[in-house]
Structure 1
Amino acid sequence: MKSIGLGIALTALAGAVQAADMGAVDEPIKLAINEWTGQHVTTHVAGEMLEAAGYKVEYVTAGMMNQFQALADGDIHATLEIWSSNVSDEYAKKISEGTVVEIGDLGLNAREGIAYPAHVADLCPGLPAWEALRDCAQVFATAETIPMGRLVDYPADWGTPGADRMTGFDLPIKAVPAGSEGALIAELRASTERKSPLLIVFWQPHWAMSAYDLKFVDLPVGNEDCFNDPAWGPNPNAVNDCDFAPSRIFKASWSGFAEKWPAAYEILSNYQLSVDAQQPMMGKIDVDGGSVEDVVAAWMAENEASWRPVVDAATK
């Protein structure tokens, strides 16, 4: 289902939320900045809302996988775009301990998977069916992987979903981690310009999905049986022989956040962002060269009716 806009999602909530105490307005609220542009957009929109409410905000660079200890310790106060498909065991541990708390879904309609630029279908007949990869794996081979094909996986800090699938389907393809989101984009750009073969782990929302005409490989629907029972799926000897689980994207905070900044907690709990809002901002940053700060500030100015009711409901 397509995500609804920020204002539509939250105006209804705004009337039901009573104004909360502002709390420690003299102390900055520290928001985690992870490794991808969409998360930067998400976080800066939230930060601008907090500043509009009267809070001080600091942005703290933190790896997606290793941010949860800092969150539990109160060194970071909130992280606003956690993808369920590659969340770490450390997160579950902190939730269980009660040192980190979830503060609601973000509202993005997301998908992850094994993808390829549309022109690659001509180089590997049979796509998007995953079985085609078994027959044309060598099309994707490089000097570092030959005789196996190459899959460009997520950066190592994001987990190994691509490698997990190649093992699960027993495909003669080696997953090679990208160095960063920028490295993933560089691969897509080069493949599109040269019409060269490329298999890559990618996600939406992302401006590159349309810019490079990306298609997802058709894999069996991901579910818990696939991830835990080798007998499930086309490979009876392995788990992960299916697509990514449908991604839930959510927010979390330090357990002491609500007590220290009650109104800010209300704002972040009710904050949502739609694909229709986030994806164009990503394009203005990564394609047009705008800064996160300038692009988000412009969006905030043009869409005040969407986010202002959430701030007002928590503070007035």
Structure 2
Amino acid sequence: MLKRPVWNVAGTALALVLATNAPASSADLGAKDEPIKLPMLEYTGQHVSTHIAGQLLQKLGYKVEYVTASAFPVFSGLADGTISALVDIWLNNVGDIYPKVLATKKIENIGSLGLETREGWIYPKFMEQICPGLPDWTALTKPECVQALSTPETAPNGRFLDYPSEWGSRSATILADNSMPYTAVPSGSEGAMVAELEAAEAAKTPLLMMFWSPHYTLAENEVGWVKMPPCKEQAEKHCITQPESVKIVWSGFGAKWPAAYALLKELKVNAQEQEKMMLAIDKRGQDLDAVVKEWLDSHGSTWQPWIDAAKK
């Protein structure tokens, strides 16, 4: 879900203008000589979705440029057209910037990515022996559980490993709302969170943390999901709801690249397939482009109808 440096379109080392292959002949491509700029956010699942979109856009005859971006500033780029389309963004992690920009009509939500997602508090399964009553959240308030999760940094409170500070923290608010004796400690990065989970599993060290799925590490580490405490208010910062990943485009996208617009509206990504690709990239060190290409080569029946619809 998630490293937020300031986004940079021009001059980024990650920017790649990709060559066209298999151009479409009957589609209204529009400004096909101008690259469609797709932002790469800070997590591998989004990279996978973005490169699926990028390689399919190439098949239609477009040029694609990948640019680095962060989840909050990316909306400014979408609003002024310096970024073209964002094909995988979790709406529960965008604060109030997204609805504000959407209200200006400078961006357009073109629908769900179809990704089955989950977000919340997790713990290694062995902790159910340390904190009887898990996964119910009230088990976390028992003194023996708080003590097990306490560290010199947080004592007498238990330690809660939160998202990196740039991502924002709903957990700190929820802990306070429910008078839970925990201190939310921001992680340094997604990689640091994964490393802590793997280390906790290996050493059987208690850990409570914010996390999300799909994620490759959950295929290798058995975790439980906390049944969350009630929301004090029905507001984003007071609740963790199951996220929806949607596709957002610059408001002029459809007029400028009609066939690309039609394709992206059709685009869907399966969570299990995304997780397998993430595992290949993050754990096995395989190349992102190659992994996505291999998936496309073996799943033509999935995406060919999207290409066909875009060519009409």
Q: Where on the TM-score scale, by shorter chain, does this alignment land: which range?
A: 0.7 to 0.9
Corresponding position of 2:205: 196
1:226 match: secondary structure: coil
Does structure 2 retain, via aligned residues, the 8 Å contact 1:103–1:252? yes
**Structure 2 letter corresponding to 1:48:** Q
Query: Match of 1:86?
Result: 93
Describe the SS at the equivalent of 1:171. Answer: coil
Q: Which residue of 1 aligns with 2:59?
A: 52
Q: Given residue 137 of structure 1, which amino acid in structure 2 is its aligned partner? A: V
Task: Tell me, yes or no, if structure 1 residue 33 matches structure 2 residue 29.
Answer: no
User: 2:137 aligned with 1:139, yes or no?
Assistant: no
Residue 197 of structure 1 aligns to which amino acid in structure 2? Answer: P
Which residue is 1:178 aligned to?
187
The answer on whether the counterparts of 1:65 and 1:157 sit within 8 Å (CA) in structure 2 is no
CA–CA distance in structure 1, aligned partners of residues 188 and 78 of structure 2: 25
Question: Secondary structure of the equivalent of 1:49?
Answer: helix
| CA deviation profile, 1:9-40 (whole Å, cap 9, x unmatched) | xxxxxxxxxx7510011111000111111111
Q: Distance in 2 between matches of 1:221 and 1:246?
A: 14
Q: Give the TM-score normalised by structure 1.
A: 0.86
State whether residues 64 and 157 of structure 1, in contact with CA within 8 Å, keep that contact through their aligned partners in structure 2.
Answer: no
Q: Residue 283 of structure 1 aligns with which residue?
A: 279
* AA of the residue aligned to 1:159: G
* SS of structure 1 residue aligned to 2:126: helix
CA deviation after TM superposition for structure 1 residue 209, in Å: 2.0
Is structure 2 residue 126 aligned with structure 1 residue 119? Answer: yes
> For the aligned residues, what is the CA RMSD?
1.8
| 1:154-212 per-position Cα deviation (integer Å, ceiling 9, x unaligned) | 12222202212211221110111112211111111111111101101111112222311
Name the counterpart of 1:315.
Answer: 311
- Residues 210-265 of structure 1: CA distance to partner in whole angstroms, max 9, x if unpaired? 3111110112466xx73259xxxxxxxxx83x6x2121111101111111101001
**What's 1:253 paired with?**
249
Residue 66 of structure 1 is matched in structure 2 by 73
CA distance in 2, matches of 1:212, 1:152: 17
- TM-superposition CA deviations, 1:249-307 (whole Å, max 9, x none): 11101111111101001111110111122111111111211121111111111112211
Compute the TM-score of the two structures, normalised by the length of structure 2. Answer: 0.87
1:292 aligns with 2:274: no
Runs of 4+ displaced beyond 4 Å: none
- Please tell me whether the aligned partners of residues 81 and 106 of structure 1 are also in contact (alpha carbons under 8 angstroms): yes
- 1:138 positional shift: 2.2
Residue 91 (structure 1) shift: 1.0
Q: Percent identity?
A: 45
1:288 and 1:141 map into 2 onto residues whose CA distance is 34
2:38 counterpart letter in structure 1:
L
Q: Superposed, which structure 2 residues align to 1:185-224 within 5 Å?
A: 185-220=194-229
- 1:97 is matched with 104
Q: For the Cα contact (< 8 Å) 1:116–1:199, is it kept in 2?
A: yes
Q: How far apart are the structure 2 equivalents of 1:127 and 1:164?
A: 21
- 2:252 corresponds to which letter in structure 1? G
Structure 1 spans left out of the alignment, 5+ residues: 1-18, 230-238
Residue of structure 1 equivalent to 2:83 = 76
CA distance in 1, matches of 2:285, 2:170: 30
Cα deviation per residue 1:130-164 (whole Å; 9 max; x = unaligned)?
Answer: 11111121211222212211111112222202212
Correspondence for 2:10: none
Q: What is the total number of aligned residue pairs between the two structures?
A: 285
Where 2:247 maps in the other structure, the secondary structure is strand
